Amino acid sequence: GENVEQHPSTLSVQEGDSAVIKCTYSDSASNYFPWYKQELGKRPQLIIDIRSNVGEKKDQRIAVTLNKTAKHFSLHITETQPEDSAVYFCAARGGGAGSYQLTFGKGTKLSVIP
Amino acid sequence: GAGVSQSPSNKVTEKGKDVELRCDPISGHTALYWYRQSLGQGLEFLIYFQGNSAPDKSGLPSDRFSAERTGGSVSTLTIQRTQQEDSAVYLCASSLGWANEKLFFGSGTQLSVL
């Protein structure tokens, strides 16, 4: 099955700096890669996603890049703000027939220091 | 409803007791997922429903775990003879269909087995 590795497990940045979280996946047939943000005590929420036919996607201060050859994808947050502090999870969905399962990484706890 | 609803929000039980966790997905969402989130860990896939059918139950940790969904709506996750290692947050999510990847999560049930 799919295996998703996520690094780093914790990340502290100064407000205004950029943050980068990286994930690798094992199944070369995986075709969908979302990122979820979970604030303390709250439910995970989708913040951005990318499909395997796209190399990069941006949404305001966040962007995701995908390298299919290397089987890794990254989340980039620019101009970080205190409200960006949360746990971020990457995930991958296999490309096989009937694939439905999202396999999540173990999460990155991002702390933005004012 | 407005979002995915889970109950109870917190459950404390004694080792060996059975527990039932309930998930009420967003109206019209045919796909329903159960995940388990242990402290410091990612989201562990448990089971997926498309309508009332569960195509893959292989994520369930042991035969003490079972789940059902009736009427294509509410789902119940049952853990029999609970063990301390079952302590975790159990998250339910729904999506429009298995091909619609965006998951909407509930707030989870925090299960503590004493």
Tens digit of pLDDT for each residue in B23-36? 999 998 989 999 99
Question: Cα–Cα distance between B80 and B73 in angstroms, integer?
Answer: 23
Question: Cα–Cα distance between B106 and B95 in angstroms, integer?
Answer: 12
DSSP state of A86: E
Kindly list the residues from chain A whose CB atom is less than 8 angstroms away from the CB atom of residue B40: 106
The answer to whether A106 contacts B48, with C-beta atoms less than 8 Å apart, is no
- A102, A23 contact by CB (below 8 A): no
pLDDT digits (tens, 9 = 90+) for B50-71: 888 888 787 899 999 999 998 8
The candidate with the shortest Cα–Cα distance to A39, out of A73, A81, A78, A6, is: A81
Residue B7's pLDDT is what?
96
The stretches in chain A having pLDDT less than 50 are none
- How distant, in Å, are the alpha carbons of A37, A94, B2, B63, B64 from that of A91? 11, 10, 25, 27, 27
Concatenate the DSSP letters of all residues of B80-111 into one string. Answer: -S--GGG-EEEEEEEESSTT----EE---EEE
Kindly list the residues from chain B whose CB atom is less than 8 angstroms away from the CB atom of residue A104: 35, 42-45
Residue type, B45: F
The answer to whether A43 contacts B108, with C-beta atoms less than 8 Å apart, is yes
| Chain B, nearest residue to A109 by Cα | B40
The dihedrals phi and psi of B97, each to the nearest 5 degrees, come to -175, 170
pLDDT of B105 over the 70 cut? yes
Percent of chain B with pLDDT over 90: 70
> A109 at the B interface (CB within 8 A)?
no
Kindly list the residues from chain B whose CB atom is less than 8 angstroms away from the CB atom of residue A103: 45
| Chain B, nearest residue to A106 by Cα | B42
User: Using 50, 70 and 90 to split pLDDT, how confident is the model at B99?
Assistant: low
The candidate with the shortest Cα–Cα distance to B70, out of B94, B51, B54, B55, is: B51
Q: Which of A 28-67 lie inside 8 A of B, CB atoms?
A: 32, 34, 36, 42-46, 49
User: Which one is predicted more confidently, A7 or B1?
Assistant: A7
Q: Which of B4, B42, B50 has its CB closest to that of A104?
A: B42
Q: Estimate the share of chain A in helix, then strand, then coil, as percent rounded to the nearest 5.
A: 5, 55, 40
| Distance in Å, alpha carbon of A93 to nearest chain B alpha carbon | 9
Residue B26's pLDDT is what?
94
